[in-house]
Amino acid sequence: MSFPKAPKGTIAIEEAVLDPAGLSWISASAPLFNPGHRQTPPDSPSGSPPGSPTRHSHLTSLLQDVHTTRLQQMDTHGVEYMLLSLTSPGPQGETDPTKAATIAREANNWLAEQVKLNPARFGGLASVSMHNSAGAAAEAVRAVNELGFFGLIINDYQDSSPGAPNADKEGKIYYDGEGFHEFWKTVEELDVPVYLHPRYPAAQDLEPGTKWGDRKQILGAAVQFHLDLSTHVYALCSSGIFDLFPRVKVVIGHLGEGIPFNLWRADHWYNKPVKKATRPSKEDYTYYFTHNISITTSGNFNEPGLKFCIDQIGVERCLFSIDYPYDTIAEAQYWWHGVDLPADQKEMVARGNAIRLFKLPLDL
């Protein structure tokens, strides 16, 4: 069966969805969508405040929709293709390994069926539980080889329990240790990118008296997302993972979670003799950002910032994204149409780099 292709336009690769089973865990995130906002419906007819139950219900509807409002907006504003992925935190928010694996597997099965309905316009990034390396690797193999996914998405650290394998004293699992070598080896063999996406803090980190619990106004996309995820990315770069598995490809959104703007200083100190003699990695941060890591514009529609990133890590490592439905297709496309880049660079960022990196079934 053939499917009609859209005219060449932008390719957006950090675009969220929610499978029906996800309704059971997404409700826990509702109070966090606009931290500190009074959780009551609006009195005025002017619209729902971002943190309200009404707004949350609308957002959930947009996340569950693939083929109606989303596709209509894509057609209206010139988005050629979307890579879809389960919204954060997905399996990373589940402390029970069996339940987390089920969240990932059910979401992947559902998303694969959605993509089959219109593969000319949609592809998928697979979710994986990161409680253990072998399980994550197995689901990655299934999702790529059997379901046809073009990569993986992981929402920062994995919630677990203190004392669990690979977990730190707070019950968080990060992926820069030896316990995840099997996973990264499998990713390298599959030759697909891993998109590292932010997440809200674990429940215990939101209690009164904690760093985030007492400062909920800075939770989320504006501040906390990039602070937490950038730490994880720095850890991966400095761990030696990319030396052991040099063909691993990682993508991070929001103009690189702020890291490109700090690369000079990070390298300046990381390359000092005392640090260089003892660090686990062979190279500095800029090396890995120019060999293993790509960034996207998701939710960060900042032309000077994009141009700075192009200058720092190369245009071939910068990709367009929207972050729908947390940001709108209309806003992203309006911004993109006004971005002043040389024509060849604009084509690379808009679509060419994504086609090459994810090996998408689209014409260059």
Residue 160: count of CB within 10 angstroms of its CB: 25
Say what percent of the chain tops pLDDT 90.
Answer: 85
What's the pLDDT band for 4 if we cut at 50, 70, 90? Answer: confident
- Catalytic annotation, pick one of 156, 159, 284, 323: 323
Q: What is the pLDDT of residue 46?
A: 39
CA atoms within 13 A on the CB side of 264: 5
Mean pLDDT over residues 270-296, rounded? 97
Question: What integer pLDDT is reported at residue 33 of this predicted model?
Answer: 58
Return the structure tokens found at 210. Answer: 């904690």
Distance between CA 98 and CA 257 in Å, rounded?
31
Q: Could you tell me which residues come within 8 angstroms of residue 292 by beta carbon, excluding any fewer than 6 positions away?
A: 242, 246, 248, 249, 250
Q: What is the mean pLDDT of residues 268-277?
A: 95
Q: Are β-strands 151-154 and 194-196 bridged in parallel, bridged antiparallel, or unpaired?
A: parallel
pLDDT surpasses 70 at 214 = yes
As a whole number of angstroms, the distance between CA 37 and CA 283 comes to 44
pLDDT band at residue 202 under the 50/70/90 scheme: confident
Mean pLDDT over 126-136 rounds to 98
- CA-closest candidate to residue 127, choices 154, 98, 88: 154
Name which of 187, 169, 77, 81 is nearest 130 in CA terms: 187
Q: Is 323 a catalytic residue?
A: yes
Whole-number pLDDT of residue 3: 72
Q: Closest Cα to residue 158, out of 128, 126, 192?
A: 128
> Taking Cα atoms as reference points, which of 144, 141, 140 lies closest to residue 130?
140
* Confidence at residue 55, expressed as pLDDT on a 0 to 100 scale: 53
User: Which helix or strand (DSSP H or E) is residue 79 part of?
Assistant: strand 79-86
Give all domains of the chain, ordered by start, each with its CATH number. 10-41+49-358 (3.20.20.140)
Residue 5 — very low, low, confident or very high, per pLDDT cuts 50/70/90? confident
Confidence (pTM): 0.93
Could you give the CA distance from residue 139 to residue 108 in angstroms, rounded to a whole number?
A: 9
| Sequential DSSP letters for 162-216 | TTSTTB-TTSEE-SSSGGGHHHHHHHHHHT--EEE---PPPGGGGSTTSTTTT-G
Q: What is the mean pLDDT of residues 206-234?
A: 93
Range scoring the smallest mean pLDDT among 57-66, 83-92, 175-184, 279-288: 57-66
Per-residue pLDDT, averaged over 97-103, amounts to: 98
> 197, 130 in Cβ contact below 8 A?
no
Nearest Cα to 98, choosing from 147, 127, 131?
131
> In this structure, is the dihedral angle defined by the CA atoms of residues 199, 204, 206 and 209, taken in order, positive or negative?
negative
Residue 38 has pLDDT above 80, yes or no: no
Rounded CA gap, 333 and 238, in Å? Answer: 35
- How remote is the C-alpha of 91 from its chain's centroid? 13
